[in-house]
Amino acid sequence: MSSIGWDNKTSSYVCGKNVWYDFCNDGVGSNCTGYGRSNSGAGHVYNYAVRYHNNNMSSAILGPYDARDIGAITVFEDGDCSGASARFYWDPDSGVNGTFYNMEDMMYAGLRNDSMHSIVVPKGYLVELYEHPGFYGSKQVVEGAYKDDSEEMVCVGAKWGDKFSSLIVKRQPQGAA
């Protein structure tokens, strides 16, 4: 973990395409896991308004990321891909069924229940968003896309606002993206 002297004055960030990140809150958990994680994500992402955790981030953990190997989606609490965020990886051992994340997984990652409003998905992946815990109810499928050669991911708003409580991350078959 890197303490970088933000002095709890961080309200936005920009992340490059080859980085995963965990931004952490002071005094909530020195290992930056679970409820101590303020924002997490991966890939080329802009978050101009970290509203829910505004000015509470004091340290960060960064690591190498390549969506071509193991992609991750990033979910945001606000509709314009801003606010609190959480990262969810596709697990290559999950096969064609994808990697399942229920409400408890999302809360552990730092989101509040029924709080997802927007999402970014790397090209070559898709996510199935479900209205209720346990992967049932209304479903929205979001396919990954980049805006341009910079591999900045496209922000997609949720069809029904803050009603998502489970999700499945899948890798698209080669040639489908």
Measured CA to CA, the distance from residue 109 to residue 40 in angstroms comes to: 8
2-171 is a CATH 3.40.50.2300 domain: no
Domain ranges of the chain: 2-171
Measured CA to CA, the distance from residue 49 to residue 53 in angstroms comes to: 9
Q: What is the 3-state secondary structure (H, E, C) of 59-74?
A: EEEEEECCCCCCCEEE
Measured CA to CA, the distance from residue 148 to residue 128 in angstroms comes to: 24
Beta-carbon neighbour count of residue 20 at 10 Å?
20
pLDDT of residue 3: 46
- What is the CB-side half-sphere exposure of residue 44 using CA atoms within 13 A? 14
**Tens of pLDDT, residues 138-153:** 899 999 999 988 899 9
Q: How far is CA 73 from CA 2, 54, 103, 128, 135, in A?
A: 24, 22, 16, 11, 17
Write the single-letter amino acid at 150.
Answer: S
Q: How far is CA 45 from CA 76, 95, 104, 126, in A?
A: 11, 27, 25, 17
**Tens of pLDDT, residues 85-138:** 899 999 999 988 999 999 889 888 877 777 788 999 999 999 999 988 899 998
**Tens of pLDDT, residues 8-39:** 566 677 888 999 988 776 555 455 655 555 67
pTM (2 d.p.): 0.85
Measured CA to CA, the distance from residue 159 to residue 175 in angstroms comes to: 27
